[in-house]
Structure 1
Amino acid sequence: MMYFFRIVFPVLLIIAGIPASAQIVNVESRRIQTDTTGWAGSFGGNINLSKNVDQVFSASAFAHLQYKNSKNLYLFLGDYSFLKGAQKKYTDNTFFHLRYNHKFSNLIRWEVFTQLQTNKITKIENRFLAGMGPRFKLSGSGMLQVYLGVLFMYEYERELVDPPVSHHNVRNSSYLAFTLKPTSNLEIISTTFYQPRLDHLGDFRILNQESANLAITQKLSATINWNYLYDHFPVAGIPKSNYTFSTGFRYAF
């Protein structure tokens, strides 16, 4: 299996025309639900500078591009965030995510994904993953949709420590996702990920993400997001658990 993920899988990505690239990312909250084919996407960002006791500068940006037809879905995500105050960086991270989804039936899809992440605050110089696996649609009613993903991935991680430390792992990356639409302008998404190492099940990550999107206009939405991550073996000096809460706006096209 290690040979497959290190040698064969990158070749398959090249053949498929998908550039090979793990922060856990909630793809469910980024999928644009539409019955039409073609291109769709969204983008947003902010810059803030304030000064009272100390000067604080922050910036963030995201881009989302999606192409969909009757059987295939291509999804690209990019994010950047930065916060600095009192001569100290509190946040400085980027990641890029590319995913391909092929529909075999109303029940089963097949997903292939790749991702690249850097996060100096959590001492991750770079983290690269590539993986694939089945995605099952457990419920598809108009108000509630439930999906189960059972994926496997190869992960390379280089820690920002002295001396540098690198890891090569194969992990399971399963998730359970709920999308609830109680009204026509409100969407609530809940996703829980579980990522254990296959050769050491005690080394695992759990992520829970909750998102709510309230449509203001046909293209503009207000968003609320909650992320909680537990990493049983983080980089030395980094806490095992962390969380983020954010609000903002999203413009879709």
Structure 2
Amino acid sequence: MLRFFQFSLLSLFLIMISPSALQAQLLNVESVRSDADSAGWYGQLNFNLSLSQYNDRVLQFTNKANLSYFSDHHAYLFLNNLKLVNLDGASVISSGYSHLRSTFNRENRFSPEVFFQYQYNNNLGLQNRFLGGTGFRYTLFDGDNWTGSFSTGLMAEYEQWQEDRAPAIDNRFIKSTSNLSLRGNLNSQTTFLLIGYYQARPNQFFQARSILETQLQVKITQRISLSVQFSAAYDADPVIDIPNWTYELSNGLIIKL
């Protein structure tokens, strides 16, 4: 056990994440959904740590935690993400989310879902975002190595935005939310995930917030994997003056509990 923790701590300092632009605004649930085959508890920790020294010293830390419970018929997921960036001893960026999702009749091709989320992103000017919704998940195919699914539903969203000293902006929306995902095994050590999200108000369906994400996981040991992830997001009508396009490229360490 001691060797395991020593190896984990050493890996955290050795794995470096690349400089990235703004964090994607959408929570990608499918990228951390457990693919457990039996009932029980499942957990996953993901650590990213970067330390660079040029004119300034920059320390960036990201932690993701996934705790899931699978009963014989249903699935319950609790997800957390925290990102901190420290520039010469001062915190300059802080962002995170908490997400709770329940999937009912998980073994069926058609599975109803409910979800709730809290999110903030100081880098984007997002002070608070609360949302809750319901929908369904439809399994398109489920083979030995590849799985595809489609999800759609409705959600209520409340946002608070504020950029620098500008007046705060509060929004309340009803939105549709849909995603299409593909997950597969490239070989016995490598898994691949591709997912696309689309969120829009019904009266402005073609002015959407969308995201495309790919993730590659390479197994190092039975419980430790290396993750490489790229996300690109597009918001057709940003609330405040931020870029329409944002992206992030990162890699990190995943520990399965």
In the TM superposition, residue 77 of structure 1 has moved relative to its aligned partner by: 0.6
Deviations 1:50-108 (A, max 9, x none): 43311222222121100002211000111111223368866320111110000176310
| 1:180 alignment partner in structure 2 | 184
Q: TM-score of the superposition, structure 2-length normalised?
A: 0.84
| 1:217 alignment partner in structure 2 | 221
In the TM superposition, residue 218 of structure 1 has moved relative to its aligned partner by: 1.1
| 2:248 alignment partner in structure 1 | 244
Counterpart amino acid of 2:134? M
Note the 1:103-142 alignment, pairs <5 A: 103=105, 106-142=108-144
Counterpart amino acid of 2:189? N
Deviations 1:150-172 (A, max 9, x none): 11111111111421111110111
CA contact (8 A) 1:75 1:98 kept: yes
Tell me whether 1:82 sits opposite 2:84 in the alignment.
Answer: yes
Deviations 1:126-177 (A, max 9, x none): 1111011011001011111110001111111111142111111011110000
Q: Which of the two has greater strand per residue?
A: 1
Gaps of 5+ in 1: 1-21
- Which of the pair has the greater relative contact order for Cα pairs under 8 Å at 6+ separation? 2
| 1:231 alignment partner in structure 2 | 235
- Length, aligned pairs only: 232
Alignment RMSD (CA, Å): 1.9
Tell me whether 1:158 sits opposite 2:160 in the alignment.
Answer: yes
**Distance in 2, Cα, partners of 1:236 & 1:139:** 40
Q: TM-score of the superposition, structure 1-length normalised?
A: 0.86
CA contact (8 A) 2:198 2:211 kept: yes
CA contact (8 A) 1:205 1:231 kept: yes
Counterpart amino acid of 1:160? Q
Gaps of 5+ in 2: 1-23
CA contact (8 A) 1:23 1:117 kept: no
**Distance in 1, Cα, partners of 2:67 & 2:122:** 26
In the TM superposition, residue 182 of structure 1 has moved relative to its aligned partner by: 2.6
